[in-house]
Structure 1
Amino acid sequence: MNNFSFPRELRLFTPTHFTFVFQRAQKVGNSKITILSRFNMLGYPRLGLTIAKKHVKHSHERNRIKRIIRESFRLLQHELPAMDFIVIAKKGIINLNNRAITEILSKLWLHYCRLKNSL
């Protein structure tokens, strides 16, 4: 049975981890969310988040968006390939409700799930 927790090792923390992805990132996204990714050698996916104060002014809104993204990743972590992912929230995401954000993320994650199945 799969473990659907979200432990510390599934997160990107350090600037080195983020730089690793930014150097040669594959990009999937739409007008509200972009996901950058790069294969890692760890055997499991990891997640990093960037939500700029410029686009989402209030901390409670940034936290809401982070919770939705983490939950989406947590539920699909066993379907995703061994990649480091950085989810970038763009201008206008604050106007979306939780369901709309979840649906956008599901479509974007599906791209990577297909990638894992083709490997």
Structure 2
Amino acid sequence: MIKLNFSRELRLLTPAQFKYVFQDPQCASSAQITILARINQENHPRLGLAVAKKHLKRAHDRNRIKRLCRERFRLLQHRLPNYDFVIVVKQGISQLDNQQLFNLLDKLWQRHIRLAQKS
């Protein structure tokens, strides 16, 4: 049975973990969002989020984006490669509604799956 939880072990928690991904990442990006990835030594993918106040001023807007990103990761985690992922938000993310953001994230996750299969 596939577990679809988002436990602590599926998260990037320390600055060192984020720094590792930022050093030499594989990128999949669009105008509003970028997903950086780097292979990890774990048996599962992990997720980190970088949602800056610069692009989303209000906390409830930042929380909405983070909640939707975590939800999409949670549902797709069993298909993702064993990488550390960091989602970086860009200007214009606030104009997307929930369904548009889900579609955009799906497209970027599929790109990472294809990149992992090539390497």
Q: TM-score under structure 2 normalisation?
A: 0.96
What is the deviation of 1:13?
A: 1.0
Amino acid at match of 2:70: R
Q: What aligned pairs does 1:27-46 form with structure 2 within 5 A after superposition? A: 27-46=27-46
Structure 1 residues 47-87: Cα deviation after superposition (integer angstroms, max 9, x where no partner): 00001000000000000000100000000000000000000
What is the deviation of 1:117?
A: 4.8
- The answer to whether the aligner puts 1:84 opposite 2:79 as a matched pair is no
State, as a whole percentage, how many aligned pairs show the same letter. Answer: 50
Unaligned runs of 5+ in 2: none
**Aligned partner of residue 84 in structure 1, secondary structure:** strand
- The answer to whether the aligner puts 1:24 opposite 2:24 as a matched pair is yes
- The answer to whether the aligner puts 1:68 opposite 2:74 as a matched pair is no
Q: How many residue pairs are counted as aligned between the two chains? A: 119
**Aligned partner of residue 34 in structure 2, secondary structure:** strand
- Structure 2 counterpart of 1:12: 12
Unaligned runs of 5+ in 1: none
Q: What aligned pairs does 1:45-64 form with structure 2 within 5 A after superposition? A: 45-64=45-64
- The answer to whether the aligner puts 1:109 opposite 2:102 as a matched pair is no
| Cα gap change, 1:116 to 1:22, in 2 (>3 Å) | closer
**Aligned partner of residue 31 in structure 2, secondary structure:** coil
**Aligned partner of residue 65 in structure 1, secondary structure:** helix
Given that 2:28 and 2:112 are in contact with CA atoms closer than 8 Å, whether structure 1 keeps it comes out as no
Amino acid at match of 2:32: K
Alignment root-mean-square deviation, CA: 1.1
Q: TM-score under structure 1 normalisation?
A: 0.96
CA distance in structure 2 between the partners assigned to 1:14 and 1:117 by the alignment = 28
Amino acid at match of 1:6: F
